[in-house]
Amino acid sequence: MPFIQCDIEQGLSNEQKTEIVRRMIEVTNKAIGSSCDHINVVLREHPTANIGETGKTNLGLISRQHQAA
């Protein structure tokens, strides 16, 4: 029974988060053959200031996407 935890920056819509969960379940099912009914996914959201990526902090990648739109 796979249990997947995914840490993400705050700011995605509920629809985007639902799509991430759906795709993680789909990929896990295809990769290891586990029944979709047995795959669990938890998204944990964090403020931008709490995330460091590529050696940098406070990038705000998701918040920048919203500003560009």
Q: Quick: pLDDT tens for 13-69.
A: 999 999 999 999 999 999 999 999 999 999 999 998 888 877 887 777 665 665 555
What structural domains and CATH numbers belong to the chain? 3-68 (3.30.429.10)
Q: What are the tokens at 59?
A: 């990038």
User: Looking at residue 29, what is its pLDDT?
Assistant: 98
- Tokens 């938890």, located at residue: 42
Computed over its alpha carbons, how large is the radius of gyration of the chain? Answer: 14
3-state class (DSSP) for residue 47: coil
pTM, two decimals, is 0.78
